Chain A
Amino acid sequence: MGIIHTLLLSCKKAVALLDQGTVVPLSPIERLQLRVHMGICKGCGAYKHQSELIDHLLENRSRAEAFDTKALEERINLRLPG
């Protein structure tokens, strides 16, 4: 029983570990717990995919829209000598 309880994470803990792992390294036992949980839980699997996709989007985003920067450029030039 002991070992089963060590290995089984709740979904709440599992998704927290997923995001924790993107900030700090997880311990070997945490990584194992996560692997076991992810192997059987579809909901958390979907969370993982989406969390990774959000990471990717956050890292690579740049607004496609073009801004009218004329006024800003003038304002900046006023602040610079010349």
Chain B
Amino acid sequence: MSKKTGSSNTPTLSRSESDISSWVDKYTQDLLRYTKARVKDLSVAEDLVQITFVAAWEGRERYAGQSSIRTWLFSILKNKLADHYRKAYRDPVLHRTEELEIERFADNGGWLPEHRPTEWSMDALQEAELLEEHLAHCLQGLPPHWRAAIEMKYLRNVDAKEICQELGISVTNYWQQIHRAKLKLRDCITNQLQKRNH
């Protein structure tokens, strides 16, 4: 099947059926990598990629060719991811996993000595890949609804108010969860870096 590869600023979409399977061939790997970096389970990531292609197929009439196919697929995927986080956030079962929070501060609000942050070593900063690995590991350890809250922040290029409406929580509640998640991620990455130095 011939695929039109006209001038790049006006991508044309032939609606032949073979086109969508060429997209599957071309973009599954990229979409899956992006998704797996953002959800816990590979099977969930795979399902999200699958429903993205199905939605793309069903909505192919709406693809107007003003963006690249890749960009279009990613915008569908991000919507599916947002749905996923909303659902995860609201899941009462997941919500019940209470996080036992450690106390990092003394009564006067100062850092307890063993929790006072110190700069990570310069070596760590130069090893971006290693940090990413630690981050990926530490994200897995977050309570699911904190993870959903923090993922929404980086996924949705919208006002915090809009995210809060989607999650059905107050802005204060939202930033407090982001903050708690950040404290925990920072602790966890610090521990990972220390473990490696011993």
Contact = CB atoms under 8 A, between A and B. Distances in A.
Interface in A23-62: 23-24, 43-44, 46-47, 49-51, 53-54, 57-59, 61-62
A57 B132 contact: yes
Contacts of B36: 63, 67
B112 to A, nearest CB: 10
B154 A59 contact: yes
B117 A46 contact: yes
Given A49-B119, A76-B49, A82-B20, A19 B182 contact: yes
B88 interface: no
Contacts, number: 126
Majority SS at the chain B contact face: helix
In this complex, the interface size class of chain B, counting residues with CB under 8 Å from chain A, is 35 or more
B109 A13 contact: yes
Contacts of B178: 19, 22-23
Interface of A: 10-13, 15-16, 19-20, 22-24, 43-44, 46-47, 49-51, 53-54, 57-59, 61-67, 69, 72-73, 75-77, 79-82
